[in-house]
């Protein structure tokens, strides 16, 4: 029971801390007060997650391309031995 309660408190603290950081960032960018910036936290969080998702997709595409290139390099010597 204590582990669940601790986990919930940690998750709530992390969410609150994240919201506070996003509000602070919006406040710095727009010049609004911190309390006014809390209204823009959901939009800012969505923008942040979209940016992270784009970066992840780009990294996966680069990894896939590198994997395919490595596979092609590994198959070249195998093709050479098959032809002899």
Beta strands of 5-77 (E only): which ranges? none
Q: What pLDDT is attached to residue 38?
A: 87
CA contacts within 13 A on the Cβ side of 19: 13
Q: What pLDDT is attached to residue 15?
A: 92
pLDDT for 3-59, tens place per residue? 899 999 999 999 999 999 999 999 998 898 988 888 999 999 999 999 999 999 999
**Of 39, 14, 38, 13, residue with least CA distance to 24:** 38
In this predicted structure, the answer to whether residue 60 has a pLDDT above a threshold of 90 is yes
Domain holding 11, by residue range, is 2-82
In this predicted structure, the answer to whether residue 84 has a pLDDT above a threshold of 70 is no
pTM listed for this prediction:
0.62
Q: Number of structural domains, the chain?
A: 1
């Amino acid at each position: 029971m204590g582990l669940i309660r601790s986990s919930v408190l940690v998750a709530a603290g992390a969410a609150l801390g994240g919201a506070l950081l996003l509000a602070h960032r919006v406040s710095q960018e727009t010049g609004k007060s911190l309390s006014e910036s809390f209204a823009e936290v959901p939009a800012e969080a969505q923008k942040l997650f979209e940016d992270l998702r784009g970066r992840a997709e780009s990294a996966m595409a680069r990894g896939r391309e590198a994997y395919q290139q490595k596979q092609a390099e590994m198959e070249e010597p195998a093709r050479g031995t098959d032809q002899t």
